Amino acid sequence: MNNKLWQSLANAWKIPELRTKLLFTAGILAIYRFGCHVPVPGIDTAALANFFKSGASGVFGFLNLFSGGALGKTAVFALGIMPYITASIIMQLLTVVLPRLEALAKEGEQGQKTITKYTRWLTVALAFMTSIGYIFLFRTEQALPNLDVLHALLIVITLTAGTTAVMWLGELITARGIGNGMSILIFISIISRLPSGLYKYLTGMGLLAQIAIAIIILAVIVGVVWITTGERRVPVQYAKRVVGRRMMGGASTFIPLKVNMAGVMPIIFASSFMLIPPTLAQFINTGPTKWIARVLGPNTGPYIVGEAVLIVLFTYFYTAVTFNPIDQADNLKKYGGFVPGVRPGRPTAEYLDRILTRLTLPGALFLAAIAVLPWLLFYFTNVQFYFGGTSILIVVGVALDTMRQMEAQLLMRHYEGFLK
């Protein structure tokens, strides 16, 4: 198995196009990590470092994880990719509600470009408002000793420009790298925090707890891979037809319906959506908002339950966006294909929708259960789970998506791929 893996890596490096994409992606990620260490001018980083180390606010610790530690260092990329994710959530929901956006989504590539442009502008607006909120946080923590209007404007512009640059870097990876640019940036941000988490894991608990947690992590990884790669193959038969003097069709194939067709995006979106109320509450910092931040903060019961419910809902939502049974049935009917035992047209669409609805449920429940697992372990055993379930889901999911991208490149050139 190891020999095959190394051989597949060697084959990937032999392909000039894939090698160029890998090197380009590595260069963009190096720029991203560099920006996570360049501090914003005029801020007392020592005071904020003590704030994050003290664990005074779980929500900012969680945001610091998604920014790869840049928020704790008050770096140029401190806001990370979160404003873009929030803007994407808003645009996806508005696409369902507003007819204008729904019509754009159906216009193909040109309509998608317009929606992407709206998402970018909304990202800049959200980054600007979030930066203003951080100004109030920095003042509360005595990290801005000499604050004036020009100084505050410089900080807001720097943080907003950093978010815009991160968005641009992610789009570059998607367009010219190995794909999934935004997901890969989040992946690198979480991986960058792995050494500190590993140190706490090795020094913060006993041997038996370490062994138990290691077994749970391995089981979670195996389960995520199993659910992500699992699929239901719906058989399709194409009728024979005469084209000129040749007999065409008559072939048998299948439609692969994945257990988790939405991939890792429901997890990222659910986490981002649940962070909005406690983050806003922390910025306002009054009596009622302090209660909201305490009750809905990360690793609290309501937060975990809400995240689990949103993971299930976003999984169904993204599955509906990714796979349209009506369009699939119309395409089959147009090219003379049919599912054995099911009439073409609307009955085929209803049949596919029924299968997909039942198939998506176990995958969505599994993802939600993994997100809840660390909290349950801490609640019943009082053992701190330093590698959160959401982080493991994102890391494994993005790794699998990236492997599929490279797999497609290898198979196009008749090389044996990574996945079996």
CATH code where residue 226 lies:
1.10.3370.10
The verdict on 234 and 324 lying in the same domain is: yes
Domain count, the chain: 2
Q: Model pTM greater than 0.85? A: no
Comparing CA positions, the residue from 319, 324, 313 lying closest to residue 262 is 319
Residue that terminates a domain, selected from 192, 225, 247: 192
- What does the alpha-carbon distance between residue 196 and residue 194 come to, in Å, rounded to a whole number? 6
Q: Looking at the predicted structure, is the pLDDT value of residue 174 above 70?
A: yes
Residue 408 lies in a domain: no
Residue 247's pLDDT is 58
The verdict on 278 and 358 lying in the same domain is: yes
Q: Looking at the predicted structure, is the pLDDT value of residue 35 above 80?
A: yes
Q: Looking at the predicted structure, is the pLDDT value of residue 12 above 50?
A: yes
Comparing CA positions, the residue from 383, 307, 318 lying closest to residue 356 is 318
Which are the contacts of 244, defined by CB distance < 8 A and separation ≥ 6? Answer: none
pLDDT for 264-317, tens place per residue? 778 777 877 777 777 777 666 666 766 776 777 776 778 888 888 888 988 888
Among 49-53, 135-139, 195-199, 272-276, whose mean pLDDT is lowest?
49-53
Mean pLDDT of the chain, nearest integer: 78
Q: Bigger pLDDT: 400 or 355?
A: 355
The verdict on 25 and 45 lying in the same domain is: yes
Residue 398 lies in a domain: no
Residue 125's pLDDT is 93
Q: 170 near 88, Cβ under 8 Å?
A: no
Residue 384's pLDDT is 57
Residue with token string 């990370």: 80
Q: 285 near 136, Cβ under 8 Å?
A: yes
The verdict on 98 and 216 lying in the same domain is: no
Residue 403 lies in a domain: no
Q: Looking at the predicted structure, is the pLDDT value of residue 245 above 50?
A: yes
The verdict on 37 and 12 lying in the same domain is: yes
The verdict on 325 and 224 lying in the same domain is: yes
Residue 18 lies in a domain: yes
- What does the alpha-carbon distance between residue 198 and residue 213 come to, in Å, rounded to a whole number? 12
Residue 404 lies in a domain: no
Q: Looking at the predicted structure, is the pLDDT value of residue 52 above 70?
A: no
Query: What residues make up the domain containing 328?
Result: 203-387
Residue 141's pLDDT is 62
The verdict on 152 and 44 lying in the same domain is: yes
Residue % of the chain over a pLDDT of 90: 8
The verdict on 177 and 212 lying in the same domain is: no
SS3 of residue 232 by DSSP = strand
Residue 53 lies in a domain: yes
Residue 248's pLDDT is 59
Q: 327 near 345, Cβ under 8 Å?
A: no
